[in-house]
Amino acid sequence: MTTQLRGGLTLSDAGREFWRHPSPWALTLTFLGALAARIVIGDWQLTDLALPVLMVAVFPVFEWIIHVGILHWRPRSAGRLTVDSLLARKHREHHGDPRQVALIFIPWQTLLWVIPTAIAVASVGFGRPGLGLTFLVTLTALGLVYEWTHYLIHTDYKPKSSAYRAVWRNHLRHHFKNEHYWFTVTSTGTADRLLGTYPDQSTVPTSPTAKNLHGATG
């Protein structure tokens, strides 16, 4: 059954729908497990504060790179092989039907390898276990913020704060004005300004392929 978003949505309505999908649960369980392990291990150092601050600061750029380089990947052929990831295919479907709830979230198939990879990086990529767990806690928290923000933008919940209104407007321009700009989701005017994809919207033509990325469906 395909779930479509409806009008008159309250924040509690949105929350109930949010928790019906697998990615919030997968990220939350990983976050809680990492947090519990981090508390048990202890060994708090200054780097446990510096690392999350750094990760939050660079997250908009990371988000932009993923959006541009992976989600907006144009299918390419190498002989008889077509290089086209699940994430790119699902994202094209999302642009085609931005109100279909299931297409808003990170595909569960992707999380089957992303979460183990993140755990492996946390286990071997840092000088001490505590710092690796700090990385994992922060990463999964950022993932949850991304999932909730992206989901909420695509609901009919009306922005109540100026900060959320700016984020909401930014992402809807990406979907309904021009898919070549406004790539950040959880912030506005951050990485897009830095990387040249935050134009004056009045100067940008409405794209004929905003709902059909790359004209992939003819």
Where do the structural domains in the chain lie, given as residue ranges? 11-215
Its pTM surpasses 0.75: yes
| C-alpha span between 198 and 191 (Å, rounded) | 9
| C-alpha span between 56 and 51 (Å, rounded) | 9
Helix, strand, or coil (residue 185): coil
Of 175, 197, 204, the C-alpha closest to 61 is: 197
The pLDDT tens digits of the residues spanning 53-71 come to 999 999 999 999 999 999 9
Looking at residue 78, what is its pLDDT? Answer: 82
The pLDDT tens digits of the residues spanning 133-162 come to 999 999 999 999 999 999 999 999 988 899
| C-alpha span between 50 and 66 (Å, rounded) | 23
Strand ranges (E), the chain: 76-78, 81-83
